[in-house]
Structure 1
């Protein structure tokens, strides 16, 4: 095979492998891996990294680890790929063992491990890593702050410090940071802070922002405000997720709005969400509350 044909073949191989990763096509990907091992192609860190990604995305952690171990000269991308595999499988402690072996971890390495701990509620190791990151001099990004806010959980003072840091570092331009702030301010009883963050976002609001604010209003029984945002989302043709719909139900229940509840129930049926167990529980709660109120009114002669 001449040099030109070899280059073309490698380019085609690379393209097919990337397609397999994007589509999670494990069958074709494994065939490519077998071909790669049996061919005369010299061992390549580049290709090994992509096989790690393939197996990671397909949920084959053991196979991904074998691909990592077979990588001729693992680089930071190699480590990050296998770190992410362990994080996805909720094994941050094993991921941390690998993290400690990275010669020079980058911001992706830190973000992956901080997020892995934060998502499982392991506050101390997540925040310890965050503080270590600050000492390295690496530039943090929106993913870093979002993970740190999640890790802070119910520590409002620290969340407020992270909020200030996001502004001073210019990271408040990330919708993800603001969305996380809305969620955790509301969760800790600070609806006013959540509302301020939402109001300050301007054009960077995404669908998650709207959903998060409706959830916040629902949590605090601010029915009228939740419904107003919900109607605005409909006018803007924004995507409504299950948490949003459940929060609208919570808002209607707090207002004991039977008429609004019936209309919303009809909309859920049209959307095909009426059989969702979570929303079904919300509907039962709504109707029971409204029924109890009507019974009370009849008993009092109203």
Structure 2
């Protein structure tokens, strides 16, 4: 007597007994054996049972067919399918599903067409067939084929199925026809959780979070954990992180138990919001629920601490479970790079066997932000050998070129973007303009600017600042007037650039006019940079009294930047003493930069107070404060060579200084010859 077998152990025992007794198992028992063997990966044993069956029914053929499809053996699966004397909807659906999941889309479509022509009454197109073909159309991005499947669903009466409605919504949404996805189901019909979740996911993919919230609030009894996680994930993708936290709290209040997807979304929001305290609470909850071994959650915890600059906590978590987790390692590299700890970041970077785009971008960005552009260039060249750089990393490299004024490398990147037809969005074009402006190639920057049909405030600011920095005050002012005529209101950055243009050419009246309009017309509160520009403008124009009066009218206490600008034009001893307290008091707390000490000393020297100058310099030496030496660099044969005054650390220093002495000697000889001729 046959009893239904529920486990592999029972199947093996039953099979052994039947072999010992010499009696073949009945058809139902054999089918059960085939199912259990294939379920546990014993396809060979399942096939042996099938081959030894004296009689087979439709379930026998479908079970062994499913076994071969599950094992990925499509040659044998096709042989079984073709030799089966009784094919039904299950037979066709099993093969179509196998082809679709293995990437053989053409075979899946061909078999579907064959099903319609050869299937007959036993192999009718059912809701599972239509759902699979709709999902196939969605993944291929084929709206025409998807619409054909929609009509077939209507003709076969399967369009009322919840599975088919869900697949239709997914297909239209994935193919870019969101309005059609919404029309699949009307308000009164959305009583199926599958359909509701599909429509909710479509709204989130489209970024229509208002509509998603509306769908979510309708028929609240249908909301399950999938509904909550779908809406929460939509807020994550839309970077509405505070609403992510809000919905997670509401989920608990509604009796929904958080799962791995909920925790992952909440950790992502904590990192984006830099909410370290909440991140620690979520970390504790993950540990308490015993799901910390999930690699996505452990890496999410590391990511929260890294983004919140809590690297000590991030290191602890990483040591426990993050090593070997690519996502956690990536978060650590991003965290170290953001904090400027490039030594630690580089150690982890070099240890990674497979480096993804985020890792490369983070490490290169870290070096670029610290103005260690040579390392950034070396890594970029290494990256570009094996990977096609996208616009994000190219923008980072353009910023590095702007920092180091490496116009040659910047032009190479520009040429690469043109050659590969990289999309020139506003961010990329602004970075390109900034690089050319800071490198002094204003003609190229202007060409990039002219590519914009409707430039925004950021683009205008970059170009105005470029003109101002290089003394093109007329062009900067004309561009500002053009921007205002287009109805674009300037911001604080715009006025810093304008005032800089005025101070370079000592245009006092125009600078005063812009400063006044900034406050009275545009309602922009002046910042210290604006005050410093005005003080410097008066100083360059030798209007010391007006500079003093301006500082006295300031509604805020001048900071060291304003004081430094004032000191550049100061000729009054008493005023210098007042400024000294502000400048050196700001640096007396241990700041190693000594440029302001030198500036104060020079101010005393201009007034002839050599004793005061000596006192300031002795104080500077006593505090062991050093002025950061200026440096210059030159690009030779693809390499960057940096030089500091009196520095002999270069590997070819002796040859360089011999050449320099030779050039200096020749210059002296030519100068003497010139004076003799005169």
Q: What TM-score does the superposition give when structure 2 sets the normalisation length?
A: 0.39
Equivalent position SS for 2:321: coil
Q: How does 1:101-116 map to 2 (within 5 A)?
A: 101-116=351-366
Shift in Å at residue 218 of structure 1? 0.6
Q: Report Cα offsets for 1:134-191 as digits up to 9, x if no partner.
A: 221x221112212223334233222211111111122251333322222222222211
Q: Which residue of 1 aligns with 2:391?
A: 142
Q: Which residue of 2 aligns with 1:298?
A: none
Greater shift, 207-216 or 250-259, is seen at 250-259
Equivalent position SS for 1:100: helix
Q: Which residue of 2 aligns with 1:117?
A: 367
Q: Which residue of 1 aligns with 2:376?
A: 126
Match among 156, 164, 167 for residue 415 of structure 2:
164
Cα distance 1:53–1:228, how it changes in 2: closer, same or farther (>3 A)? Answer: farther
Counterpart-to-counterpart distance in 1, 2:314 and 2:463: 39
Equivalent position SS for 1:9: coil
Q: Which residue of 1 aligns with 2:169?
A: none
The answer as to 2:284 corresponding to 1:284 is no
Match among 26, 46, 54 for residue 276 of structure 2:
26
Cα distance 1:239–1:60, how it changes in 2: closer, same or farther (>3 A)? Answer: farther
Number of aligned residues: 286
Cα distance 1:64–1:219, how it changes in 2: closer, same or farther (>3 A)? Answer: same
Q: Which residue of 1 aligns with 2:502?
A: 252
Tell me: higher relative CO, structure 1 or 2? Use CA pairs within 8 A at least 6 residues apart: 1
Match among 525, 538, 547 for residue 273 of structure 1:
525
Shift in Å at residue 95 of structure 1? 0.8
CA contact 1:163–1:181 (8 Å) conserved in 2? yes
Equivalent position SS for 1:157: helix
The answer as to 2:258 corresponding to 1:9 is yes
Counterpart-to-counterpart distance in 2, 1:59 and 1:102: 22
Ranges in structure 1 where 5+ consecutive residues have no aligned partner: 293-302
CA contact 1:68–1:78 (8 Å) conserved in 2? yes
Equivalent position SS for 2:352: coil
Shift in Å at residue 64 of structure 1? 1.8
Q: Which residue of 2 aligns with 1:295?
A: none
Q: Report Cα offsets for 1:22-70 as digits up to 9, x if no partner.
A: 3222222111111211222251111122212211221111212222333
The answer as to 2:337 corresponding to 1:54 is no
Counterpart-to-counterpart distance in 2, 1:109 and 1:19: 21
Counterpart-to-counterpart distance in 2, 1:273 and 1:291: 27
The answer as to 2:458 corresponding to 1:194 is no
Shift in Å at residue 206 of structure 1? 4.5
Cα distance 1:54–1:216, how it changes in 2: closer, same or farther (>3 A)? Answer: same
Greater shift, 72-81 or 115-124, is seen at 72-81
Counterpart-to-counterpart distance in 2, 1:65 and 1:207: 41
Ranges in structure 2 where 5+ consecutive residues have no aligned partner: 1-224, 227-251, 544-678
The answer as to 2:426 corresponding to 1:175 is yes
Q: What TM-score does the superposition give when structure 1 sets the normalisation length?
A: 0.83
Q: How does 1:225-236 map to 2 (within 5 A)?
A: 225-234=475-484, 235-236=486-487
Equivalent position SS for 1:139: coil
CA contact 1:56–1:85 (8 Å) conserved in 2? yes
Counterpart-to-counterpart distance in 1, 2:414 and 2:266: 43
Counterpart-to-counterpart distance in 1, 2:309 and 2:322: 23
Counterpart-to-counterpart distance in 2, 1:184 and 1:151: 8
Match among 344, 348, 364 for residue 98 of structure 1:
348
Q: Which residue of 2 aligns with 1:297?
A: none
Counterpart-to-counterpart distance in 2, 1:246 and 1:28: 39
CA contact 2:323–2:329 (8 Å) conserved in 1? no
Counterpart-to-counterpart distance in 2, 1:288 and 1:42: 62
Equivalent position SS for 1:104: coil
* Cα RMSD for the two superposed structures: 2.7
Q: Which residue of 2 aligns with 1:218?
A: 468
Higher percent of residues as helix: 1
Greater shift, 11-20 or 152-161, is seen at 11-20
Cα distance 1:172–1:258, how it changes in 2: closer, same or farther (>3 A)? Answer: same
Shift in Å at residue 290 of structure 1? 5.0
